[in-house]
Structure 1
Amino acid sequence: MSLLRVLGRPMLASMFIAGGMESVRNPKAVAPVAEPVVEPVTERVPVLPDRTEQVVRLSGAVQVAAGLMLATGRMPRLAALAIAGTLVPTTLAGHRFWEAEDSAERTEQRIHFFKNLSMLGGLLIAADDTGAAPSLLWRGRHTTQDLRREARLLRHSVRATTGPAATAGRIRAKLPV
């Protein structure tokens, strides 16, 4: 594994581990801000809890668990996707700069919005990073090609041996017993 991955993954994950811990410990602080985004999501996704505080706590738990997985390199692609899935509603709920009345607050929220957007980009890159190993799609294609080549070789081998075997069988059938 490259040094960039060894250093970069924990650095990217640190923000989500810290923020997720805060959401798990104190969901009431975030729940009022999250309500406008959580309500429409829970209506469309019936498996999510009904209370906003529970959804905030669940999102925080996902961020902590996936952040630890990303930081330690355990299933980093899946972990990055899980964090990205929690980051979108978090950003939309927490940094609605377009609704801010005050110019200074609008500027601050815009900065945080684009910071989260940048982290989302990093997570998407991490989710696509195969760690210098071939992707599953590449492996699948090459396994298919290998199987086809082996089947073709087997077919040629069978054809090459059936001719002489058939001839030997005809000769043997004509011989007296």
Structure 2
Amino acid sequence: MAVVRRIARPLLASAFVSSGLRTVQHPEALAATAAPVALAIAQWVPGLPRDARALVRLNGAVHLGAGTLLAFGILPRACALALAASLVPTTLAGHAYWAEEDPGKRMQHRVAFFSNMSILGGLLIAVADRPRRGRRRRGCGRGGMCP
């Protein structure tokens, strides 16, 4: 299972690292789309900026930082939780397919919405993952004494 984790974590993190880097560099590209959701969240969370561009950049920084740490296996459960928490508003702001009038755009946003939900599922599995600290054969008991 350790080999699977070494492969899976960077794969799961790759989308966050690439989009986070792009978002940190160019937050204005997403600020207008994200504003309704981002500003609503900022009203409920003390200390967050009240500027959509700054909130988008902050979200990109979380994706970039937590994604990079997850890829290297550093605090993987905490990083997966941070990414999961930030993915929900990102998805609601960017892929509200139910509000889209154009059938083609609605389908694109619907696919992206459910792709993000699939990634969210993977992140939640990573949050719940508890790697074994030692190897014990089944039936060996607590002391590890095996015949």
Q: What letter is aligned with 1:117?
A: M
Matched residues, number:
135
Q: TM-score, normalised by structure 1?
A: 0.74
Paired position in structure 2 for 1:43 = 43
CA distance in 2, matches of 1:132, 1:98: 42
Paired position in structure 1 for 2:92 = 92
Cα offsets for 1:30-85 (capped at 9, x unmatched): 00000110111111112101111111111111111100111000000000001111
Instruction: Report the alpha carbon displacement of residue 132 of structure 1 after superposing the two structures with TM.
Output: 2.3
Paired position in structure 2 for 1:109 = 109
- Which structure has the greater CA radius of gyration? 1
Segments of structure 2 that go 5 or more residues without pairing to the other structure are 135-147
Instruction: Report the alpha carbon displacement of residue 24 of structure 1 after superposing the two structures with TM.
Output: 0.3
Q: TM-score, normalised by structure 2?
A: 0.88
The alignment-based identity, stated in percent, is 47
CA distance in 1, matches of 2:82, 2:8: 17
SS at match of 2:68: helix
CA distance in 2, matches of 1:93, 1:74: 29
SS at match of 1:131: coil
Paired position in structure 2 for 1:65 = 65
Instruction: Report the alpha carbon displacement of residue 130 of structure 1 after superposing the two structures with TM.
Output: 1.0
Across the aligned residues of Structure 1 and Structure 2, the Cα RMSD in angstroms comes to 1.5
Segments of structure 1 that go 5 or more residues without pairing to the other structure are 135-177
Q: Which structure features the higher share of helix residues?
A: 1
CA distance in 2, matches of 1:15, 1:90: 13
SS at match of 2:23: helix
Q: What letter is aligned with 1:30?
A: L
Off by >3 Å, runs of 4+ in structure 1: none
Paired position in structure 1 for 2:80 = 80
SS at match of 1:73: coil
Paired position in structure 2 for 1:150 = none
Is 1:131 the equivalent of 2:138?
no
Is 1:34 the equivalent of 2:37?
no
Q: What letter is aligned with 2:96?
A: R
CA distance in 1, matches of 2:62, 2:123: 14
Q: What letter is aligned with 2:49?
A: P
Instruction: Report the alpha carbon displacement of residue 109 of structure 1 after superposing the two structures with TM.
Output: 0.4
Instruction: Report the alpha carbon displacement of residue 117 of structure 1 after superposing the two structures with TM.
Output: 0.3
Q: What letter is aligned with 1:120?
A: L
Paired position in structure 1 for 2:143 = none
CA distance in 2, matches of 1:100, 1:81: 29
